[in-house]
Amino acid sequence: MFRPPLVTALLSVTLAACVAPNQVRRPIPDPQLITQDEISYSRATTAYDAIQRLRANFLSRRGETSILGRSSTYPTVYVDGLKFGDVDALRAIPAGQIATIRLFTAWDAATRYGNSSASSVIDVTTRLERN
């Protein structure tokens, strides 16, 4: 099959443009996780401030999770795996001490932390201080 030289040249250039051999791809950020680097970049002063700037949806109301209507509709806060309080407790956690902040949605929260945390959980992992 004969192709004119111009068509062959255009085809070669088009294919070369589609393939970028040394292109650096950034990983897609986890929408349920806030990293230490993101917190530093945001210049937040508290965990609450960091969440509000970076993933405000973490702080939103989740709706009723109990047919009795007695459970909180806002996330429960855990710090290093221990129950810390409600969303306002995030204001007491300095941003400089945080390694990660992760949102566990209803199903994952109930599985990991029990039915009392069925609306969702904001899990704050602090940085370990090394002497």
Token representation of residue 61: 């109301």
Distance spanning both ends of the chain, measured CA to CA = 73
pLDDT in tens, the chain (131 residues): 555 666 566 656 565 555 555 656 666 678 999 999 999 999 999 999 999 999 999 998 655 545 545 555 789 999 999 999 999 999 999 999 999 999 998 889 888 988 766 678 999 999 976 44
Helix (H) or strand (E) holding 49: helix 47-54
Token representation of residue 49: 């401030």
Q: How far is CA 22 from CA 17, 27, 28, 115, in A?
A: 12, 15, 18, 48
At 65 the pLDDT is: 47
At 131 the pLDDT is: 46
At 41 the pLDDT is: 95
At 83 the pLDDT is: 94
Domain-wise residue ranges, the chain: 26-126
Rounded CA separation 109/87 (Å): 15
Q: Which CATH superfamily is domain 26-126 in?
A: TonB-dependent receptor, plug domain (2.170.130.10)
At 87 the pLDDT is: 93
**Closest to 79 in 3D by CA, of 63, 62, 91:** 91
At 122 the pLDDT is: 95
